[in-house]
């Protein structure tokens, strides 16, 4: 392989990586823009609610035991 072919391969590899980095940067900016919009805020709120509901269903015994212990400790 000649030096010229090697140079072109490195050049295009660098360009491709730069393009990928720029794409990732733009996607992150778009994601942040979406999450700060009203729709994004509602989306994250819904995800948190669904996750909490799933957690409470899976760990109902643990949550109930903690609530009893807390009630006995603080009398609330």
pLDDT value of position 4 = 79
Query: Cα–Cα distances in Å, from 23 out to 11, 28, 29, 40, 75?
Result: 18, 9, 10, 21, 55
Report the predicted TM-score, pTM, of the whole model to 2 decimal places: 0.60
pLDDT of residue 10: 87
Tell me what pLDDT residue 1 has: 62
Q: Confidence band (pLDDT; 50, 70, 90) for 76?
A: low
Tens-digit pLDDT profile for residues 1-57: 677 788 888 889 999 999 999 999 999 999 999 999 999 999 999 999 999 999 999
């Amino acid at each position: 392989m000649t030096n010229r072919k090697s140079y072109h391969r490195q050049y295009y590899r660098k360009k491709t990586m730069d393009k990928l980095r720029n794409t990732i940067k733009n996607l992150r900016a778009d994601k942040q823009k979406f999450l700060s919009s009203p729709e994004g805020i509602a989306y994250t709120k819904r995800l948190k609610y669904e996750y909490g509901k799933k957690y409470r269903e899976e760990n109902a015994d643990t949550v109930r035991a903690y609530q009893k212990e807390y009630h006995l400790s603080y009398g609330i």
